[in-house]
Amino acid sequence: MSVLRMRLTRTGAKKRPSYRVIVTESEFPREGRHVEIIGHYDPMTSPATVKIDTDAAVRWLRNGAQPSDRVRILLRHAGILKAWEEARLADKRAAKAAASQSS
């Protein structure tokens, strides 16, 4: 069974990198096949440009995708990890309330 990863894939010209934030299987190469492109990151602008689709990122995190270290930092700065934690806690509370009402 393969693990889904959220990671960066390099685009752009020589000595002018930009990156896409993608969801891919962990065995696939960096420039290989991907499941979905959820954003982009341009470190060459001042300040660095980060655009990530919040809904898609939270959806993939809820489905078990593991972000790489750099993507985790980008998600934290964009506030997406906090949104994911809140959604996860809301799911737990709803499940707990449903379990207590069925008893």
Structural domains of the chain, ranges and CATH numbers in brackets: 4-102 (3.30.1320.10)
Please give the C-alpha separations between residue 23 and each of 3, 31, 60, in angstroms, as whole numbers.
10, 12, 8
Question: Can you give the pLDDT of all 103 residues of the chain as single tens digits?
Answer: 579 999 999 999 999 999 999 999 988 877 778 899 999 999 999 999 999 999 999 999 989 999 999 999 999 999 998 888 888 888 888 888 888 887 6
Q: Tokens 């990890």 belong to which residue?
A: 81
DSSP, collapsed to helix, strand or coil, labels residue 79 as: coil
Rounded to an integer, what distance in angstroms lies between the CA atom of residue 42 and that of residue 19? 6
